Structure 1
C-alpha cells in the first residue's frame, strides 16, 4: 500500500494535480499543473494556443491575421505542430504550415507577475518554442510568467520580391501578433501586460533587436534581451530579397512573367517543395556565415499593400535614433564560432582559400570592391592576419585562432557596433555582457565534440536558462555550473522585474552590473564568477570599427 501511495504521489507531481480553464479572447483553453521537482512549487502550462489564423492558401506570404477563435474548450496539454523547417543541424525537421501557436507557463493564475516572452533561434529556418528544448522551469520558479511561440521560418517567413507582390518579414509580424496576444490575454494567466520582456538567442536575439527597431513593437514590450545576435550581424539582414525569390523560382523550374506571377505560383506549390529548395549550411559560400542568410529580414517597399515591419536598414535606423527607447541586455558567448573548427571537415579547401583571396577577411559592411579597391582590401587582410594569425594565413595548426576571427566576424563586431549605436542615443540603460562560463552545462560544446577548447560556444548559454529535456544532464550538487545557472536566471528575472539585472548584491549576485557607456565600455563577464570589466576582448574589435568608419560609416 505504501508503494502504491508513493507511485500515486509521483504521478500527481509529474502529470499534474488539476486542469484549470482560462478564458482568452479566442476562447477557453485548459492547461495542466506540472511540477519542476519534489522541492519546487508546481506551475501551470497552457500549450498550443493559436494566436493567428493558419498562414495557408491566400494567407501564405502575407501578414498574419489574428486568430478568429474556437468553440468549446481547447486542450492545452500538448504542443501543436512546429513550423516547416529544413533542420540545418538535425533538429526538428518537418512541421506543418498551420503552426502559429504559443505556450504560456505561469506560477499562478492570480497575481500581476512580470512576463518573459522567448523568441527561439535557428538561423531563421529552424526551431520552435516547444518545451523539449526551452523548458521554462527555472524561470517560472523565480516567479515570472514565461511565453514561447512559433513563427514562420525560411521562405515561408521571409520571401520578398522588393515590390508589392511580396513585401516580406512575415515571420517578424508573426512575432508582433504573438506579442499582441500576450498584451491582450496575459493578465488572465497572472501576468502583467505592462511588464513584458522579450528575449531571444541567435536569430531570436536578432529578432528581439529588430523588434526594437520597428514601430510595430511600440507598447508591446517594455524590456529586451538580445543573446548572441543583433541586426548588424552579417547574416541577419537580406539586402536583395528579390534575387533570393527568383533563385527559388529557378530551383523549382518555374517560369514567370512578373514578380506577382512568380509569387502566385509559389503560393500554389505544396509548402514542402518550397522548404526542400532552401539552402543548408553546407550550401553557403565560403567563408560560411559571413554573408546574408538566404531568408532573413529585409526593408519593405514604401508602397507595400500591408503594414510594414521594417522601413529602413538597421544601421540607418540606429544612427537616426529611430528605435524604441527600452532598457536592454545585449551580449554574446566568448567563443561563439568555435563550431568553425569543423568547417575544414565540411570543405577542406575553406581555410586554404584565405591564402589566395584577401577579400575573405573583409566584412561586406565595409563595402569594398575587391577589383577596384585592392589596396584597401589588402590593408584589411594584413591587419587581421596580424591580429589573429601572427601574420600567417589560417591553417589547421592555428584552427582556434581561425574560430576567434570567425567569432568576431560572425557575431561580436556586429553586436559591439550595435551597443555603440544604442548607448548614446537612448536614455534607457544598455547592459552589455560576455558569457564565458565553461563547465558541465556547456552542452553544445560536447554535442559538437569540442570539449578540449576553452570557452563557451554559440548557444551554450541556453542550458543556463532553460530545462532542456532533450539533454538530461546529471549534475551533482555543488557543481559550479548550477550556481552559474541560478545566477544567470536570477539576473534575467531581475531585469524583467526592475529593468536592472543586479539591483542588489548578495551571496549569489556578487557584483553590480554597470550600464554601458561608449566612454568606458563597461560589460559583465559571466563565468564561474561575475567580473565587472571594461573593453571587451581587450580592444581586439577596435580595428574593425576603425575600418568601418574609414570605408563605409554606418
Structure 2
C-alpha cells in the first residue's frame, strides 16, 4: 500500500517532465492540455540540422549532432532570420533548424504522423508556440512542425551547381528524414507520414511529395491555398533567379570567382538587404527554382514526373483578398483615384503573371473581372483568387495521377487574416487567404471576434481536423466524410456555413477554360 502511495506521488512529476531518448540523445518535454482537456506531450526546439552559418550558408543542411545530458525541449524554437514587415525590422537568427513534436502518448503506438509546413510566401513564418497544437492533439496523431530557412537565406539561387537554391525545401526534406529516423520514440509510425501546409507551405508539401529522391517516404500530401509550379508566385521561371542573383552579388561587391565564399562571409543583414535590387524586378523575390540534378535536389523538372501520391488540395473562397486588403481596409496611407487604381490593377496583372508586353492579354483579363464586377476592388479580389490560387490548383489536380480530392473553404465565423494582422474587427465579408488556419491551429494572443469560437465554429474545426487525420491514417477522407468523392468524380467539397457539402466541379469550367494557355 505504501509503495502504491509513493508511486502515486511520482506520477505528476513524470507527467510534468516527460523524458524520452532518441538516437541524438535524451530530451525533456512538458505536458499540455488539448482543446477537450486531453493530456499530451510537447517537445520543442529539437535540433534536426546543424546551424546553416559560415561555410554552411546556402548549402544543403547537415544532420544535427548528438548531445550529452538531457536536452531541455520545453522552450520555443528560435525562428529563422526574416524581415518583420509590420515593424520594419529584422528578427530571428540563422541557427534555426529546429522542430517541434507533439504526441498524445509516448509509447509504441505507431500513430500516423503529420508534418506541417508553415506558409508565409517563402519569406516569413515559424513553427509557432507549443499551444498551437492543442486542436490536433484531441486526435490520435503525432504532429511535427519544423522551421526552415526563408527569403534569400533559404531561396537565393544562381541556378547552378555552386548555389542551386531551394535551401528551405532541403531543410524540410532533412526534417522529414529526421522524422523517419526518430519518430518511433514519440509514438509515431515512420511509414505513415503525411506532409501538409498552407500557402507557401502547401506548395512546399507538393514539392516534397513530388521529389523523386523522397519517393516512398511520404504517404500523402495536403496543400491548402498553395500548389507547386502552376502558381506564378511558387516557382521562378528559368533564368530569372540567376539574373537577379548576379545583380545582388555585384551590389555586394563579390568577385565572380569567389561568389559563394564572399556571400558566406557577409552578415545576414547584408545578404538580406532589400535595397540591393528593386522589389518589382523579375527574380527579386526569392522562391523555389528548378535546380540542376544532384543528390540533394528537390525540383529538377516541372511538371513533376512523380505525381501518383494521394493528395488533398484546395483554396479559400476569396483568396485574392490577400492582395486587395490594403485597399479594402485603407492600409496604403494614401487615396487612389479610380484611374490610378485601374492603372495599378493592370500593372499587377502584367507583372505578377509575368506577361511580357502582352497588352491585349492584360486587357482581356482586366475586362473579364471588371465587366462582371463594377466595384474595382472586388474585381481585383476575384482576379487574385482565380489567377494565383483557384486555377493553379485545378490545373495541378487535373494532371495529377494519384487519388485526389478538391475542396473550397467558404466558412465565415472566425478571425480573418487582416483582422489578425491589424488586431481589430473589420466586419469582413468573404473568406480570405489564411482564414482556414484558425480552425486547425490555436492562436494564443491573437485577435478574436466577439463570441469566437462558438459551438458551430468548434464543430467546423473539429470536423476539418478529423478529416485531415483520417487522410493521414488511410490516405482518403475515410468514414469521416464518405460523401467527399475524388476529383475524378467531377465533384468537390464545399466547407461553408451550411455544412460540408458536395458540389459539381463544372462550376469552375469557365475559370479553367479562361486561364488555360494564359498562365
TM-score class normalised by the smaller sequence: 0.7 to 0.9
SS at 1:526 equivalent:
strand
Q: Which runs of 4+ in 1 moved over 6 A?
A: none
Measure the CA separation in 2 of the matches of 1:63 and 1:494.
Answer: 33
Q: Which residue pairs with 1:539 in the alignment? A: 509
1:431 deviates by 0.7
Whether 1:479 and 2:448 are equivalent positions in the alignment is no
Q: Which residue pairs with 1:419 in the alignment? A: 397
- Contact kept, 8 Å, 1:523 with 1:536, in 2: the verdict is no
1:68 deviates by 1.8
Measure the CA separation in 1 of the matches of 2:452 and 2:96.
Answer: 38
Q: How does 1:427-442 map to 2 (within 5 A)?
A: 428-442=402-416
Q: How many residue pairs are counted as aligned between the two chains?
A: 498
Measure the CA separation in 1 of the matches of 2:275 and 2:46.
Answer: 28
Aligned with 1:400 (options 378, 385, 390):
378
1:537 deviates by 5.3
Measure the CA separation in 1 of the matches of 2:319 and 2:17.
Answer: 42
Q: How does 1:118-267 map to 2 (within 5 A)?
A: 118-131=116-129, 135-231=132-228, 232-239=230-237, 240-250=240-250, 253-258=251-256, 260-267=257-264
Closer, same or farther in 2 for the Cα pair 1:60/1:390, shift >3 Å? same
SS at 2:101 equivalent:
strand
Aligned with 2:64 (options 60, 64, 67):
67
Deviation per residue, 1:146-179 (Å, 9 max, x gap) = 0001001111111211222211111111001000
Q: Which residue pairs with 1:28 in the alignment? A: 26
- Contact kept, 8 Å, 1:363 with 1:409, in 2: the verdict is no
Whether 1:310 and 2:310 are equivalent positions in the alignment is no
- Contact kept, 8 Å, 1:84 with 1:275, in 2: the verdict is no
**CA root-mean-square deviation:** 3.0
1:358 deviates by 5.7
Measure the CA separation in 1 of the matches of 2:283 and 2:389.
Answer: 13
Whether 1:495 and 2:478 are equivalent positions in the alignment is no
1:216 deviates by 2.6
Unaligned runs of 5+ in 2: 1-10
Q: Which residue pairs with 2:496 in the alignment? A: 527
1:182 deviates by 0.3
- Contact kept, 8 Å, 1:155 with 1:278, in 2: the verdict is no
- Contact kept, 8 Å, 1:255 with 1:262, in 2: the verdict is no
- Contact kept, 8 Å, 2:417 with 2:432, in 1: the verdict is no
Unaligned runs of 5+ in 1: 1-11
Closer, same or farther in 2 for the Cα pair 1:534/1:36, shift >3 Å? same
1:245 deviates by 1.8
Closer, same or farther in 2 for the Cα pair 1:23/1:279, shift >3 Å? farther
1:547 deviates by 3.4
- Contact kept, 8 Å, 1:465 with 1:489, in 2: the verdict is yes
- Contact kept, 8 Å, 2:149 with 2:168, in 1: the verdict is yes
Q: TM-score, normalised by structure 2?
A: 0.87
Measure the CA separation in 1 of the matches of 2:336 and 2:507.
Answer: 29
Measure the CA separation in 1 of the matches of 2:376 and 2:292.
Answer: 45
SS at 2:41 equivalent:
strand
Whether 1:339 and 2:322 are equivalent positions in the alignment is yes
- Contact kept, 8 Å, 1:115 with 1:144, in 2: the verdict is yes
Closer, same or farther in 2 for the Cα pair 1:450/1:205, shift >3 Å? farther
Aligned with 1:514 (options 485, 505, 516):
485
- Contact kept, 8 Å, 1:88 with 1:126, in 2: the verdict is no
Measure the CA separation in 1 of the matches of 2:283 and 2:273.
Answer: 19
Q: Which residue pairs with 1:269 in the alignment? A: 266
Greater displacement, 534-543 / 155-164: 534-543
1:450 deviates by 7.6
